Structure 1
């Protein structure tokens, strides 16, 4: 009976988080049309991204927005990234270049390159994406910057990954879906804790008021989530997930490359605010305990009661995450949510173990 009580308590915690996620699942996207089209600086920092830039810059320049500049930052690339940037700058006066050479103190640090790009920006409203990202519509700039005003200083967007065949692609997109569901829900609850650099907007004032990335400049990652974790408040943050506001990237195609990417991302979590670390850690722990206790209860306790408890948890999970998946256009993941969750937990636990011994030291 003790195991059943523990399983029931774990499911209560699980359902508490699904109640939190319902703040996003039942939310409405930001649809307000701004009265003014303020000038925007779009910033893309790239390292060895010549091919992606060639494909994606035209989609940014084709945005239906009357007043924006595109700042392209070449972070000491060894391929022809700079030449691609120069090609677009010669053709379009909206394109501005920042060519960053290796700096011994900040070698391999994206934040140093991005800081130089921010200093180049002439506009107060900033919009960020990555070189491998493509806006899903020509309304991306308009949608992602519409909420910015004197009070709203940060807008969190969704950076999706292309739908491709295979289990790895489904797992990558599920992890992205879960991450977005969490940071959107926490923001709606007044506890914003992160955003993604693939699709993020904030003001220059907020950046300089918070001394940029100085508090975590030593880490190769965190120009997005750590900055938001530090600067976001319950009143200065909005979310935007209208389909026209999204970006889409090409996902990793091997488990090795994806896990390396996730290892780099997870190194930043240790610098989150204590309340965020506690809430995220409790969610992760409760999910692992659910699967472990469910298996133990099926073996050593009443299987009928166990199945009833498990069914209640899965019903809550499907009802909330299913709505979130539909909002973020990930409908085909819905039938496989429990399986994908189980595999993702195993990957995340493995990464935590690996990172306790060695940590990635560069962003690329």
Structure 2
């Protein structure tokens, strides 16, 4: 693992081996000098021609059973991103590869239409951009997310979006039209109100003020918005919980949630390196609180536990959250019940009853 800070604009400078690699190489000083090939930090976008784009899940921890992800990898560079380990399936590292070697599903639009047109397809809200952000920087050129929204609007199909990008305002025309038909809701991932902490934790994501501004503009345009404080990291951003919820309420959010930091697989190694580099004075304490909330381990993957944790710290966090949403009059869940009855593929006979 690298022992130096990542370059500005990246979450890590490390590239740990992925867990599926058949072989591993290690540096060994044999006395012969060789010029090292430096890591490449520029963004590379590869094309993928997907066979299908709607992914199904049966997890009781999430409120949807299907999702669409236009991209693999994410340029936002969030050090804690739970999707980092998925890059190993492509023989790439969950480290800097995840931030720089991105994959775009360039045939997403055609595959999405094919799946929505299949006989017997039963509509339910699609979660757009759940594994990696559908509005990450490369969306400006690729526009795969916008094409997806155009299709979903044409088919009158409900969609949930979660993002930490103000780029979503580019699609306000589509989102407001979907909202007028009760077919969309948007959640913003909020981790901090501190610009400097944002810079080192999620370097290429929008600033806290930009996210709140985008949330407010969507709200004023009639688009239902919510906020997700994710992840909550002990001794790093947990002290901001109440302030973030209050700021989200002021920006128009009527529903909020939180997720305790998750460190599955390679993320634990990357996060500990990041923590030691940026917060050496409290790194041991942070990891101790995380393990106390995860049964003594870095991560507990059990359904019903993995999102919130257990133990004293997790319980105190949950109590703080409940008190805050009660005081702020948040979590009006009825605002986000989308309408599935309007679904009608173009050319199909609509129900007259």
TM beyond 0.5: no
Q: Which has the higher contact order (CA 8 A, sep 6+)?
A: 1
Q: TM-score range by the shorter chain?
A: under 0.3
Q: Tell me the TM-score normalised to structure 2 length.
A: 0.27
